[in-house]
Structure 1
Amino acid sequence: MDPELAGLYALHTLFAGLWTGGVVFVMWAVLPVARDGGLDADPLGSITRRVKRLSRVSAVLLALTGVRMAMVLDYTETAVLFETTRGYLLVGMIALWLVLMGLVEVGASKLADGTGRRKVREPARNARPFFLGATVVAALLLVDAGLLAAV
């Protein structure tokens, strides 16, 4: 394998895993504790800022490495994207990536709105549907990536 491509795959996979892990951690570990009142506003605010930062950095790096991989693998022609299984999987990945970005941004904003008012339970309840959706989308992205690696 081309060393550039191997490095791109490694970086892409690393940040996909970090982003997915961060979203799942918030959904399954942070939000339940916050909903039960076991987490103060300051730590929740700090976690929220870090998750937003991780999400934004991951989104940018995934876009950059994904575009570069498409160029190296010559997937830039419209026919490749819209007439092959690999192309459909790539288009699906891009769509899911956009949805994941939106869900994390909205969910984190719901959390941040409450922590600024020193509230935790209500913001955690309000953010839950968005992080639940983000968790599902992140899992679908990993499935899509696995299918993409297999074709």
Structure 2
Amino acid sequence: MVTVYTLMDILHVLVGGVWAGWTVFMAALIIPAARDGRLGVEALTWLTGRFARFSQIAPVLMLLTGGYMVSQGAITDAPLNSLQGQLVVTMVGLWLVLSALSNVASRWLVAGIEPGGVELAARSAARSFYVAGGVALALLFVGGGSGKIESQVDSFRHLFGRSFRVSTTGQQPASPRELRAATLLNDK
């Protein structure tokens, strides 16, 4: 049975992946093509308009879905007291930066088309798009890392039983002696 939490998680990852991927697509393909004169005014304006609109909707969806997951216990410790919490705080910061960069870069690009043409507008907005693409890649890296850590912790817990502790709060992990003692207690 699919839960609301699972749907929110899927939507969160899907929107984040599309937004980050589209940002990299704009930086890696659209801006260079426009800068080299391969895109006309209509095509560049249309593509940038769609990207700008999605870049306004995506942060709202990310906030709603991520907020729901946090409210349902996605982060069990205070955000800065665990590695996963720190990664979530890092992702929120990167999303804010990406939101600002993608919207500002889109506005600069569209505003620059009329006075200077497509090539000059693309050259002027290129740096902002390249930085936004770098932020998007960082987000994918951090987001992928936070999921890996959670699944690795779950794997260790399954492998070693409930007595296994993972040091995400700065505490020492369970020693072999503690693991043996816990195993003996669990066997009784």
Q: TM-score, normalised by structure 2?
A: 0.74
The corresponding residue for 1:136 is 134
Partner of 1:32: 32
Asked if 1 retains the 8 angstrom alpha-carbon contact of 2:27 and 2:129, the reply is: yes
Rounded Cα–Cα distance in structure 1 between residues aligned with 2:74 and 2:46: 41
Asked if 1:85 is matched to 2:83, the reply is yes
Asked if the contact 1:55/1:101 (under 8 Å) is kept, the reply is yes
Cα distance, 1:38–1:2 mapped onto 2, change above 3 Å:
closer
Supply the AA of the counterpart residue of 1:89: L
How far off its partner does 1:101 sit? 0.5
For the 8 Å contact 2:113–2:120, the answer to whether it is kept is: no
Deviation, 1:54, is: 1.1
Structure 1 residues 134, 44: CA separation in 2 closer, same or farther (over 3 Å shift)? Answer: same
Give distance in 1, aligned partners of 2:38 and 2:111. Answer: 18
Q: Identify the residue that residue 14 of structure 1 maps to in structure 2.
A: 14
Unmatched 5+ stretches in structure 1:
none
Checking the alignment, whether the CA contact within 8 Å between 1:12 and 1:65 is kept in structure 2 is yes
- Aligned-partner Cα distance in 2 for 1:112–1:74: 39
What amino acid is the match of 2:130?
A: L
User: What is the aligned length?
Assistant: 149
Query: Which has the larger displacement, 93-102 or 65-74?
Result: 65-74
What does residue 58 of structure 2 align with?
58
Structure of larger gyration radius: 2
Q: Distance in 2 between matches of 1:44 and 1:117?
A: 15
CA deviation profile, 1:42-71 (whole Å, cap 9, x unmatched): 211111110001111111101110111110
Give the partner amino acid of 2:20. T
Structure 2, unaligned stretches of length 5 or more? 150-188
Does the 8 Å contact 2:24/2:137 carry over to 1? Answer: no
Q: What's 1:120 paired with?
A: 118
Q: Taking every aligned residue pair, what percent have the same amino acid on both sides? A: 34
For 2:170, the equivalent position in structure 1 comes to none
Name the amino acid aligned to 1:86: Q
Output the amino acid matched with 2:146.
L
Separation (CA, whole Å) in 2 of partners of 1:116 and 1:3: 49
Cα RMSD of the aligned pairs, angstroms, is: 1.7
* Shift in Å, 1:116: 3.4
TM-score (norm 1): 0.91
Moved more, 2-11 or 119-128: 2-11
User: What secondary structure, in the 3-state scheme, does the structure 2 residue paired with 1:120 have?
Assistant: helix
4+ runs deviating over 2 angstroms: 115-118
